[in-house]
Structure 1
Amino acid sequence: MLVKTYAAAVQGISATIITIEVNTSKGIQFFLVGLPDVAVRESHERIVSALQENGYKFPRSRIVINMAPADIRKEGSSYDLPLAIGILAGAEMISSEKLSQYLLMGELSLDGTLKPIKGVLPIAIKAREAGFKGFILPQQNAREAAVVNQLDVYGVTNIREVIGFMDGKEELEPTRVDTRKEFYARQLQFDDDFSEVRGQENVKRALEVAAAGGHNLLMIGPPGSGKSMMAKRLPSILPPFTLHESLETTKIHSVAGKIGNETSLMTQRPFRSPHHTISDVAMVGGGSYPQPGEISLAHNGILFLDELPEFSRSVLEVMRQPLEDRMISISRARFTVEYPAGFMLVASMNPCPCGYYNHPTRACVCSPGAVQKYMNRISGPLLDRIDIQIEIVPVPFEKISEQRPAEPSAAIRERVMAARRVQEKRFQDYPGVYCNAQMNSRLLHTYAVPDAEGLKLLRHAMTKLNLSARAYDRILKVSRTIADLEGEEAVRPHHLAEAIHYRNLDREGWGG
């Protein structure tokens, strides 16, 4: 007897429907074809044990299983459930009437219980697009899949429940999630707040400008000046997720297996802080079976690189293209996958190996040329892609000991959101552009044109600091954001002056 069950394979952050065709006939052989990997082929032993533990014998027949389309590699153990149900239906041990209406996914334990799987959200979206009535999967993944409306999602704990449901002997209760209610209820819950930060008003201003325009930021300062502390508070002043952004980010984390059990949608922007020993592949994504890297896991959020010069040169250089294109393409011999990488790069570093170059009270003990050598670990092209470079100095005792709380994150966030609303309106006719940091040269010449006095100031800065054409564009983008924060229609000279001030590493005196 020939029957079909349905599953899905995840490629990139989208899914493809896999049709599992099971044909049973006389004999005692077992064949599994359709480009399965080792984990899929090993499902035979898990299925045999799971069926025996739940009162079913593995059919003594000639079983041929084809996983179509046959040119897509099937990876992982999440095909156990559809394979097991297909085998039982092919042997006429359970009813095959409902098989065409449901997509099945799940890894089987030897006792028949189901274990959680990766990539549930893109699979659920594909199941709805393909017109399936429902999606049956492990209970731990049910809330994540239930985000998708117009699809019945059934979370099950044991294969016995699925068999009973297919035979009409057991009813499954669909999982319901009020997506919008949960999404908006948890959006603004942060552990860290800028009200706890004493002093550093100029750095807070730079962070506000970066958040308002989506600009990349580099903080340079001695140990203990508060670089990491303020970076961790940056998500608290970013605009909240839109539902679309949340769905897109959740898909990436779902594919990478980073979504916690009993979680539906991500409600806060990601903050990724990889260690400086990270490899190229872990940063940008890839591997034998490509997975999203840190730059994709930080999509719609922040990638924080602490101690930037300590990262390997190759790791930093591979980020140059994603910083511009906001997308990473990973090519293999048989296929190419693309992952979104629209992140804000926030980095911190010491000014020299000892950490005290340009310190107001402590002397630098580095040898001549050591500062320049330390700075040269970061290439000029990468520095050019960082819009804001701000120097941090230690907070004096008078500021640290102040009892009066500083401005809270909520107040800063309101100004940031107001500036973002201006940008959304400005770029509504330009698909793919949502903030000033994403402007191309044509948009810059339309919306960030300085007046005669501003051009004179900019010309002087370009000549004195020997800035590149890319740095020129960055200054215009940042000045446009500063103008938006002040509610100004045009870019004024004082906006340009502040933006030029944020090019600290281009000044004389850095690195000798």
Structure 2
Amino acid sequence: MLVKVYGSAVFGVDATTITIEVNVASGIGYHLVGLPDNAVKESSYRITAALQNNGYKLPGKKIIVNMAPADLRKEGSAYDLSFAMGILAASEQIKAINISEYIIMGELSLDGSLQPIKGALPIAIQAKKEGFKGFILPEQNAREAAIVSGLDVFGISNIKEVIDFFHSGKQLKPTIINTRETFFQDLDNLEHDFADVKGQESIKRCMEIAAAGGHNIILIGPPGAGKTMLAKRLPSILPPMTLQEALETTKIHSVAGRIKDNVGLLAQRPFRSPHHTISDVALVGGGGYPQPGEISLSHNGVLFLDELPEFKRSVLEVMRQPLEDREVTISRARFTVTYPSSFMLVASMNPSPGGYFNDPDAPVSSSSYEMQRYLGKISGPLLDRIDIHIEVTPVPFDKLSEERKGESSKSIRERVSKARSIQSERFQDLENVHYNAQIGPRQIREHCQLDDASKTLLKTAMEKLNLSARAYDRILKVSRTIADLAGSSQIQGEHISEAIQYRSLDREGWLG
């Protein structure tokens, strides 16, 4: 007897429905076709044990399982439940008249219990799009899939529940969540707060400007100055995610299997901080069967690279194109996948191999040559994509011992959101520009016009401080953001003056 069961495969951040045809006929043997990988091929052992431990058996006949379309490679163990239900129905051990109305996915344990799967959200989106009645999957993924309205999502813990549902008509309880209500409840649950940071008022101001304009930023300072602490709090002052951004972010984390059990929509902007030993494939994504990398997992959030010069040069260079295009395309012989990667880059570094500025009182001193060589590990083209460079100095004792808390992330976020709304209105006619960091030369000429006094100030600064040519556009973009924070339609001299301070690495003789 021939039975068709439906599963799904994830490519990039989208799902493709897979038709699983199971034919049980006279003969002997178990044949699985349709480009399955090793994890899929091993499913027969898990299915055999799971059925035996729940009062059923793998029939001693010729079983052919075809996964269509047969030219797409299938990977992972999430098809176990689909195969098992197809085999039971095709061997007439159970009645399953309406089995074709559901997407069925899940990895089986030997006792018949189910393990979570990857990509539940994109699978649910595709299932609704194709008109399936429901989605049967492990209970750990149920809240994630239930984000999609108009689709019955059944989270189950054991294969026996699915068998009883189709064979005996025993009802399963659908998982229902109010997506909007849950999302807006979690928006203000901030893990870190700028109120915890003592001192460093100038750096907080710099982080506020970076958040308001979406500018990439690098923090340069000795160990213990608070670079990591400040970076971790940057997501807390970024504007709250929109529902669309949350859906995009959740899809990527779902595909990568990074969503915790029983978690629905991600409401907080991601913060990713990979170790400096990371490979280029792990950073941008890829592999034999492509998976999203750290730059995609930080989509709509922050990617923090601590101790930037310690990263391999090849790893840093592969970020250049995604930083410009805000997406990364991974090509293989048979297919191409594209992952979104619109993130804010926050980098930190010590000013020298010893960790300190060129200071005779520093615990470890480095020569100017050693410091220049250390900084030379970061290429000019990468620095070109970082708008703000700021020096972070250690916090003095009297600031550390203060009882008074600093300004909260909530109040800073309000100013940042107001500035972002100004930018959204300004760039509403441009498809790929939403905030100041994304503008090109044409928009700079249009929106960053200076009066004569400001032009003179900028010219003087560039000549006296020996600022590089690449600093010119960056200063204009940052000064535009500073003006937006101040509610000024025109860039003023004080906005230019402040922006000039944030180009430390462009100054000749910065190292003394």
TM bucket normalised to smaller:
over 0.9
- TM alignment of 1:28-67, pairs within 5 A: 28-67=28-67
List per-residue Cα deviations over 1:40-64 (Å, max 9, x = no partner): 1111111111111111121222222
Contact 2:466 2:507 in 1 (8 A): no
Instruction: Show the counterpart of 2:430.
Output: 430
Q: Which whole-Å CA distance do the structure 2 matches of 1:361 and 1:192 have between them?
A: 33
Q: C-alpha offsets along residues 361-387 of structure 1, whole Å, 9 cap, x if unaligned?
A: 537621341011011011111111100
Do the aligned residues in 1 keep the contact of 2:141 with 2:261 (CA within 8 Å)?
yes
Note the C-alpha offset of 1:398.
Answer: 2.4
Letter in 2 for 1:160: K
Q: 2:142 matched to 1:150?
A: no
Tell me the SS of whatever aligns to 1:136: strand
Tell me, in whole angstroms, the C-alpha distance in 2 between the residues paired with 1:469 and 1:162.
66
Which has the larger displacement, 430-439 or 354-363?
354-363
Corresponding residue of 1:23: 23
**Contact 2:305–2:348 (CA under 8 A) maintained in structure 1:** yes
Contact 2:7 / 2:19 at 8 angstroms: preserved in 1? yes
- The number of aligned residues is 512
Aligned partners of 2:219, 2:469: CA distance in 1, in Å? 22
Between the two proteins, what is the percent identity of the paired residues? 63
1:297 alignment counterpart? 297
For 1:227-306, what aligned pairs fall within 5 Å after superposition? Answer: 227-306=227-306
What TM-score does the superposition give when structure 2 sets the normalisation length? 0.97
**Corresponding residue for residue 116 of structure 2:** 116
Q: Which moved more, 1:189-198 or 1:337-346?
A: 189-198
Give how far 1:161 is off: 0.9
Q: How does 1:47-446 map to 2 (within 5 A)?
A: 47-359=47-359, 361-362=361-362, 365-446=365-446
Distance 2:376 2:66 in 1: 56
Q: 2:54 & 2:368 partners in 1: Cα distance?
A: 75
Unaligned runs of 5+ in 2: none
- Native 8 Å contact 1:106 1:114 kept in 2: yes
Root mean square deviation of aligned Cα: 1.6
Within 1, Cα distance between the matches of 2:488 and 2:9? 50
Q: Which runs of 5+ in 1 are unaligned?
A: none
Partner residue in 2 for 1:449: 449
Q: Is the 8 A contact 1:359 1:393 kept in 2?
A: no
Contact 1:357-1:364 at 8 Å conserved across structures = no
Query: How many angstroms does 1:86 deviate by?
Result: 1.0
Shifted more, 181-190 versus 136-145: the winner is 181-190
Give 1:467 shift: 5.0
- Measure the CA separation in 1 of the matches of 2:291 and 2:341: 13
TM-score by length of 1: 0.97
2:287 maps to a residue whose letter is G
Report if the CA contact (8 A) 1:444-1:473 is conserved: yes
Distance across 1 between alignment mates of 2:107 and 2:397:
58
Rounded to whole Å, the distance in 2 between the matches of 1:154 and 1:78 is: 16
Code of the aligned partner of 1:97: I
- SS for the counterpart of 1:415 is helix
* d(CA) in 2 for partners of 1:442, 1:391: 31
Q: Are the structure 2 counterparts of residues 360 and 450 from structure 1 closer, same or farther at C-alpha, using a change threshold of 3 Å?
A: farther
d(CA) in 2 for partners of 1:356, 1:159? 60
CA displacement 1:330-382 (0-9 Å, x = unmatched): 11111111111111000111111112224595376213410110110111111
CA distance in 2, matches of 1:180, 1:42: 40
